Amino acid sequence: MTAASSDSSVNAASPSMSSPPASTSSSQHSAPSSASASGSERPIRFWLGDRQVSVDHAPPTLTLLEWMRERGGCASVKEGCAEGDCGACTVAVTDLDANGEPQVRAVNACIQFLGTLDGKAVQSAQDIATADALHPVQQAMVDCHGSQCGFCTPGFVMSMFALYETRRAAAGRGLGGNDSRQPGSDSSHEPGRDISRDDALRALSGNLCRCTGYRPIVDATRAMCAAPWQGPDMDLWKTRLAQVAADGDAIFASGADVAAQWPGHTAGRFYAPRSVSSLSAVLAERPQARIVAGSTDVGLWVTKQHRAVGDVVWLGAVQELQGMQSQPGDAVAAQVWGDGTPVLEIGAAVSLSDALDALLPHLPNCALYFDRFASTPIRNAGTLVGNLANGSPIGDCPPLMLTLGASLVLHRDGVERVVPLDDFYLGYQKNCLQAGEFVRAVRVPLPAGVVVHAWKVSKRLEQDISAVAVATAFRLTKGKVAAVRIGVGGMAAVPSRAPKTEAELLGLEVSEEGALATALQTLRNEFAPLDDLRASAAYRRQVAANLLQRSWLALQSATPPDAAGAVSSAATAATAATAASGAAPSTPSGRASSTHSVHSLADLSPILMEITP
């Protein structure tokens, strides 16, 4: 197919090409980076289904969805919300992971700038079936009656497809292409076949069905891996990605007639440097350029606010920003938690999905908090560093990172400085970055013997920014609070610590009845939150205190009897466990209780659960 406009061209390529020699593939992926700020202008190159695509003169903020529908001939990709909420535009994007292996992930095409797809492969629901049969994901949707009006179906299919491909690769079938097992043979015990309801819901968290037909879609997701595996060899993906791989710093420049070609867009350049030195050079020459990692926030500036962003500098191609590294410690972590506190350094281009997966083993109590961060497609595109650098007062990551004592590594022209996250935020939408400076990485302390919890309250359970978020970290000595840090969101103009409340908590006996009362009142009075559409100021104050109390109850349930005395009773432990889970306590009939007899701190948990979702 040839695109209708002079700004792009689509060249057919065979899907059955053989892999190049390993040395050729390697050289294409590790071409030396240029330190030039200008780089070289060239088209954006990627795969769309079985077609190799080259797009010239694209505006820097042109979205993948716009191009696919208006130039790429992909009518299955829909625009429902243009803000990454509904999932109607979901596509599967394939690139190489840290080990050089293909990985397939679902992303929202509506807020992905086209330049971020350079060197990758994109698939829509039109691209996954064969000439003779539907893909197993599509067939499962048919068999389970998962499509109602059909508008949202392609997006659901691609979220399911990304999970399917992940399971296929994990099962070891990707190296041999299609499953050699005969249809009808037993597959129930093969790795990757069993998809739990939780796994299905997590994969579909970024998709909305306005026909309210979720049950058959979940059924289809759980059933899709029962059929023989179907898909290309993973080596084919390596071959294709090598053919569109970046060969140095790149610039994607819009044409002079951008207003005529793409109404609503303005002229500009999209810079895709490949090294930190090249990135520094670009920012030194163009300090006002907009830095973008996942475009999950800046994308909305374009699609919802119609803002002219100007030149864009993308971090996603910078090799040094794509990794994570464990370190024995650093000065900031030592000051917060003591010498020898290990840290995990996470690069600025590491996705939220990868970052949270790496942190979860160290922060098991935060699993629900991580799941409630946006949706799977947003986490696949967005970055932890981007969420921190954005500095939204209602962002989900800053309260937890403040609680842990995280620090940011700031880089400018080869010179670095490490700034505690506490000192990074200077005011609403203001930070301490200097002209030409960028955040290279975040260092997250992983202290031993510290109990960490994080909670959020929002209008929706999923895909919603916090009205209030509270994260806590307690270190106990003989049942007393020896160290504590509290981070809050939604309570001030910037994500903040609660030092007055922390001071009230130091030295408290975890098991002491009523010990928390003064600290709760201090937290209610420590901030002056706003009244807005998400919540009133009074509600925010009360809920912040409730969330601190939830952490306290969870802390009590986890404290050994010899350290906390009476807290070890079965009834209190069960109540605290309910508080930690976020579920409302039940009466013997199974319904949530609506009447309460309050005699102790633990007895408050039923009330707490009713007013704190």
Question: 588 is written with which tokens?
Answer: 């013997």
Q: What is the DSSP letter of 592?
A: B
Residue 437 token pair: 């400076």
Per-residue pLDDT, 456: 96
How would residue 38 be classed by pLDDT, with cut points 50, 70 and 90? low
User: DSSP letter at 74?
Assistant: -
In a domain, 154, yes or no: yes
Q: Is 184 exposed, middle or buried (0-12, 13-18, 19+ CB in 10 A)?
A: exposed
pLDDT digit string (tens) for 319-378? 999 999 999 989 999 999 999 999 999 999 999 999 999 999 999 999 999 999 999 999
Question: Percentage of the chain with pLDDT > 90?
Answer: 74
Cα 292–chain centre separation: 15
> CATH number of the domain that 546 lies in?
3.30.390.50
Task: Evaluate whether residue 24 is within a structural domain.
Answer: no
CA distance 48 to 67: 11
Q: CA neighbours within 13 Å on the CB side: how many for 414?
A: 3
| Cα-based angle 101, 103, 109 (whole degrees, multiple of 5) | 145
Q: Is residue 411 part of a domain?
A: no
Structural domain containing residue 36 = 8-17+32-243
> What digits encode the pLDDT tens for the residues 170-183?
887 443 334 333 43
Domain boundary among 243, 275, 306: 243
- 594's CB contacts (< 8 A; 6+ apart) are 610
Count of the separate structural domains present in the chain: 2
**Structure confidence by residue, pLDDT tens digits, 560-578:** 544 433 322 233 333 334 3
How would residue 600 be classed by pLDDT, with cut points 50, 70 and 90?
Answer: very low
Give the H/E segment covering residue 3: none
Does residue 262 lie within any of the structural domains? no
Of 174, 208, 243, the residue at which a domain comes to its end is 243
Phi and psi (nearest 5°) for 499? Answer: -65, -35
Query: What is the DSSP annotation of 358-389?
Result: HHGGG-GGGHHHHHTSS-HHHHHH-BHHHHHH
The reported pTM is 0.84
State mean pLDDT over 23-38. 36
Mean pLDDT of the region 521-538: 95
pLDDT surpasses 60 at 184: no
Tell me if 64 is assigned to some domain: yes
Domain end: 243, 278, 297, which one? 243
Among left, alpha and beta (phi > 0; psi -120 to 50; other), residue 63 is beta
Paired tokens of 158 = 């691609």
Residue 287 lies in a domain: no
Whether 481 is covered by a domain: the verdict is yes
Quickly count: other Cβ atoms within 10 Å of residue 362's Cβ.
Answer: 17
Q: How many CB atoms lie within 10 A of CB 374?
A: 23
Structure tokens, 151: 């508008």
* Residue 513: pLDDT over 70: yes
pLDDT in tens, 446-469: 999 999 999 999 998 878 889 999
Question: Is pLDDT at 60 greater than 80 in this prediction?
Answer: yes
**What is the average per-residue pLDDT within 459-485?**
94
State which amino acid sits at residue 464.
D
Q: Decide if 603 is inside a domain.
A: yes
CA-to-CA distance for 527 and 520, rounded, in angstroms?
12
Instruction: Assess whether pLDDT exceeds 90 at residue 33.
Output: no
Q: Cα(283)–Cα(437) distance, rounded to whole angstroms?
A: 7
Supply the pLDDT for residue 212.
75
CATH number at 234 reads 3.10.20.30
| 3 state DSSP class of 237 | helix
